[in-house]
Amino acid sequence: LLPGFELTNNRISNSTETWIFSSTTLQLGAEMKWTDKFKSVFMFTPKLSTTFTGGIDSKDLQFGGVVLNTKRRNENFDWRFGTYVNGELFSVMIVPLLGFNWKINDAWRLKTLIPVNLELSRIMHKKWIAGLLFIGANASYRMRQQLNPFTSFPGSYQPYLDKADNNAWLYSDIYLTKNIVLNLKAGYSVLRKYRFYDEDDKLGLKLGPVNIGNNRVDSPALMNNGFSFEARLIFRLGLK
């Protein structure tokens, strides 16, 4: 079994307004080993993605999951491929995944899962890993509070936020205990887009980074490219 739980909280402010939105994700999965060289991970990821103001209802809930297969080539190299699917507020999002995990030597490792992740890491100490990281992420949040009609976003009274964020990071994982990790990241965003949409503005489908059937009316960009800093406390628990 592969249980997990993730809570994220976001706060964005400018000179006149502040937006706070969060997501709470439950991760329920299992690993199936088919042969000595081939295994699969199946993960169900329901989440609440909202401002958590004024209560919670079914519109705040999203259902998703991932299937990730690993094919071992040798003791230092694995191929990885699969699919991530989630019911976002803008449409169903389907992300085909393809990549590898290469143990270059005892200290260095290169991992990628296109189009969402690229990581070059080095084991600095038995309790410290550092490296370079690129993450491409897309998520949506229900903005339950009504927006002021005299702001930049008039008419959006049941909006959602479409958050597309691509970041190149320097990162550090510090193992406080075997299962508790302090994750620190600093970097710069690329092609960042945070935009509000009315809840009826939808895509036909999102396939990887491609929007299909996009007739939405864009709001002004909430954030531009810029420096990013992030700190997370990660609890990892594996059950057998």
Q: What are the φ/ψ torsions at residue 129 (nearest 5 degrees)?
A: -120, 135
pLDDT in tens, the chain (240 residues): 677 778 888 887 766 777 788 888 988 999 999 999 999 999 999 999 988 776 788 888 999 999 999 999 999 999 999 999 999 999 999 999 999 999 999 999 999 999 999 999 999 998 999 999 999 989 999 887 655 544 555 554 568 889 988 999 999 999 998 888 999 999 998 888 888 888 888 999 999 988 999 888 777 777 778 888 888 888 766 555
In the chain the first and final C-alpha atoms are separated, in Å, by 6
Give the separation between CA 143 and CA 141, rounded to whole angstroms.
Answer: 6
Q: Scan for tokens 């994750």, then name that residue.
A: 183
> Whose CA is closest to 112, among 130, 94, 93, 97?
97
